[in-house]
Amino acid sequence: MDFEEFREKLKEDLGERLFARTGDDFEITSSSVNKLQNAGYEGISVRKEGEAVGINLDVADFYKGLEDGRADYDSILDKVTEVAIRGFEEAPAFNVEDLSNYDVMKEHLSMQVVATERNAEMLESIPHKEIEDMSVVCRFIVSSDKEGIGSILVTNQLLQSMNVTEEQLFNDAMKYAPDLRPSEIRGMADILAEMMGVDVSELENQFGGGMGQPEIPMYVATTQDKTNGAGIIAYPGFMEMASEKLGGDFFLLPSSVHEVILIPDKPDMKYSELENMVKEVNATQVDLKDQLSDHVYHYDSKDKVFELAEKFDARKKEKSAEKHTEKDSVLKDLSEGKKEIADSPKVKTEKALKKEDVSL
């Protein structure tokens, strides 16, 4: 059977299974779920009759399992039934009426950063602010626990239903998001030590003391819950805080939508080498739905400018050229001044000689 036949059969059989297990009637429909970062899927929507909120299930992977022989239909039906029941049991408890009350929901605003070009079509229906080739979008956090975060993407339609402007949305997001999901900047040694369950000092001793002061110090910036943590780059004052911690200018590498890597800018550092590293890691280690950008960014702590590293490099070269031109101009002025000084005594001497001739 093809995918549509599989989905139709699954909808019918799942309804019967859920009724047998729970005694409740369910409305089950086909759904196409659009998500940012190309993470959308074809699935089914399951909702208890009489309730406004339900769950979406991605059934494409289940079909692939059937298609390549990894599972038979009955085992898939068993699995989907368990997933659906668990989904309702673990669904976040929140008042549906609150979803239309902006005064309540604004305190649950969070920010997410995504690739602008890759999400261009979806961004047409989503309020967003651009930061270079990335876009900041807003989400309402409806649950947060050890299992993860439940959130609702703020769309133009949702914002309109709340009678709220895009400007107000982002002003409130800037106000509430940093408190709701605080940012953190940690050294790579701290993170490795945590992953290994040891103290940083123990890790440094194990690696000969080199972990605390690596040749190129690297820091990871994210939210404390580490989900969509790259959104911290839009927090007010984040760049200044990071600059203070790193001791000045720094490069920002978009590790994923969940975190970014910060590296202090050094005189001999080439952004092109960092960019090649980002591209290689994205191509080999980061899932497409988690990729943020293949580019490297730079923060100029003196001019307080966050920009693509290639723009900073061009700006730096332009400044250097201007200084060189200015230096040449100063040297020219000095040279002309010296010539005037050199010529001046000669003129006075000639005049003095003429006066002496007259006297004689």
The pLDDT tens digits of the residues spanning 173-196 come to 999 999 999 999 998 777 665 655
Q: Are 246 and 219 in contact (CB under 8 A)?
A: yes
Please name the residue that has the structure tokens 């989400």: 139
Of 237, 139, 123, 136, residue with least CA distance to 180: 139
Which amino acid is residue 226, in one-letter code?
K
Strands (E), 109-176: 109-115, 129-131, 134-145, 148-153
Sheet strands (E) in 49-102: 55-58
Distance CA 273, CA 276 (A): 5
Q: Which residues contact 126 (CB under 8 A, 6 or more apart)?
A: 137, 153, 154, 155, 156
| Residue 320 confidence (pLDDT) | 76
Going from the C-alpha of 58 to that of each of 39, 42, 61, 151, 290, the distances in angstroms are 11, 6, 7, 17, 18
Is residue 295 predicted with pLDDT exceeding 80?
yes
CA-based torsion, 292, 162, 170, 228: positive or negative: negative
Task: Tell me the HSE value of 337 on the side-chain side, using a 13 A CA sphere.
Answer: 6
3-state secondary structure of 89: helix
Answer positive or negative: Cα dihedral of 280, 285, 286, 288.
positive
In this structure, what are the phi and psi dihedrals at residue 217, rounded to the nearest 5 degrees? -65, 135
Nearest alpha carbon to residue 66 among 79, 54, 51, 55: 79
CA angle, 350 then 354 then 359, to 5°: 145
More confident residue, 208 or 16: 16
Length of the chain: 360
The percent of residues above 70 in pLDDT, for the chain, comes to 81
Mean pLDDT of 216-230: 92
Could you give the CA distance from residue 73 to residue 289 in angstroms, rounded to a whole number?
A: 28
- Residue 192: Cβ within 10 Å count: 14
Render pLDDT for 53-94 as a digit per residue (tens, 0 to 9): 788 899 988 999 998 889 999 999 999 999 999 888 877 666
Tell me the whole-structure pTM to 2 decimals: 0.78
Q: What is the pLDDT of residue 355?
A: 41
Q: What angle do CA 162, 113, 311 make, to 5 degrees?
A: 130
Q: Are 276 and 264 in contact (CB under 8 A)?
A: no
